[in-house]
């Protein structure tokens, strides 16, 4: 699923940056 892949990428990016916004995605 493209959506699943996108979600994984966002989580990975958020985890890497560890920004407050990441909390929303996570």
* Distance between CA atoms of residues 11 and 7, nearest Å: 6
Q: How far apart are CA 19 and CA 22, in angstroms?
A: 5
Predicted local distance difference test score (pLDDT) of residue 1: 45
Sequential pLDDT tens for the chain (26 residues):
455 555 656 555 555 555 656 555 44
Q: Give the residue numbers spanning the domain of 1.
A: 1-26
Number of domains in the chain: 1
Taking residue 11's Cβ as centre, other Cβ atoms within 10 Å add up to 13
């Amino acid at each position: 699923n493209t959506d699943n892949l996108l979600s994984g990428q966002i989580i990975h990016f958020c985890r890497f940056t560890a920004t407050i916004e990441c909390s929303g995605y996570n």
